[in-house]
């Protein structure tokens, strides 16, 4: 396999991948992001609905494929931001064909970092992944867009997500088996005292709680964007704060462990998919 450089990544096709899953996988995902026993249409096959954030996990194959191109060490990369647009409701079981592409590679400067933007598309959703590569800047690429630094939203409601000590080992059964979430030695090698919770688990739980705070059904999510600002440890209590929905049913949200932001610049839109 040809090894690429960071300068050669942008525009690289990652090919196609097909995910097949059963209704038990759909229910497992919902439970792994905190669905309760009385959320019957998320945990019971009778009138089951799929949580749209499950799609973010489906597209991780493209992130892994990008890491295999040789431009950077995938074990020294961080999932920094996530985007999702829902085109039609996910089936509760079936197969989804996806295609992947590296949209951009940004050079944040000598001695700093690079950011790789990866996009996965399907008939059901488009998912975007921002991958942060510390210490890799200075290769001569464009700096790319900077994150906007506006005032914090005026949150008007809040709720709590109680993670469990087993949350990471449960969530990894949905498909993300990175050892940093289960192996203490791998976690310590990456600077953590113990295994951390998956960022997409935190995001899925926060999106579900944001729907509750907004009076929406979490399966009615049509778009989502957020920065994964800091890791959560299994057992942490995550406080989710949200604004009032605007006329387009768009909500701003953030998630915090005590005073530390773990998800920032979050926006979610709820409504029937057209």
Report whether 179 contacts 144 (CB < 8 A). no
Distance CA 256, CA 43 (A): 26
Catalytic residue among 181, 198, 220, 236: 181
- Among the listed residues 251, 247, 244, the one whose alpha carbon sits nearest the alpha carbon of residue 268: 251
Report whether 48 contacts 42 (CB < 8 A). yes
Catalytic residue at 181?
yes
Query: Can you tell me whether residue 56 is helix, strand or coil?
Result: helix
Concatenated DSSP letters of 9-52: TTT-EEEEEEEEE-HHHHHHHHHHTT--TT-HHHH-GGG----T
Contacts of 146 (CB under 8 A, 6+ apart): none
Report whether 249 contacts 211 (CB < 8 A). no
Distance CA 75, CA 70 (A): 12
- Cα dihedral: 68, 138, 261, 231 (round 10): 30
Catalytic residue among 25, 39, 176, 220: 176
Catalytic residues, by residue number, are 176, 181
């Amino acid at each position: 396999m040809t090894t690429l450089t960071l300068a050669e990544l942008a525009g690289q096709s990652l090919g196609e991948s097909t995910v097949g899953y059963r209704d038990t996988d759909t229910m497992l995902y919902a439970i792994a992001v905190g669905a309760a026993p009385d959320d019957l249409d998320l945990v019971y096959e009778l009138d089951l609905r799929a949580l749209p954030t499950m799609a973010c996990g489906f597209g991780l194959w493209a992130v892994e494929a990008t890491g295999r191109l040789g431009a950077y060490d995938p074990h020294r990369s961080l999932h920094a931001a996530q985007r999702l647009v829902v085109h039609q409701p996910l089936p509760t079981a079936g197969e989804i064909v996806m295609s992947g592409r590296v949209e951009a590679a940004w050079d944040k400067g000598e001695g700093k970092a690079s950011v790789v933007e990866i996009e996965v598309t399907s008939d059901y959703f488009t998912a975007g992944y921002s991958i942060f590569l510390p210490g890799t800047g200075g290769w001569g690429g464009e700096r790319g867009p900077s994150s906007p630094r506006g005032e914090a939203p005026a949150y008007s409601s809040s709720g709590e997500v109680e993670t469990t000590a087993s949350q990471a080992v449960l969530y990894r059964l949905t498909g993300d088996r990175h050892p940093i979430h289960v192996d203490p030695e791998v976690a310590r090698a990456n600077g953590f005292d113990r295994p951390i919770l998956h960022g997409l688990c935190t995001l899925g739980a926060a999106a579900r709680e944001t729907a509750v705070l907004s009076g929406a059904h979490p399966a009615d999510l049509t778009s989502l964007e957020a920065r994964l600002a800091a890791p959560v440890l299994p057992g942490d209590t995550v406080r989710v704060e949200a604004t009032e929905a605007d006329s387009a049913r768009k909500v701003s949200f953030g998630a915090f462990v005590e005073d530390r932001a773990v998800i920032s610049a979050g926006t979610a839109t709820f409504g029937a998919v057209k």
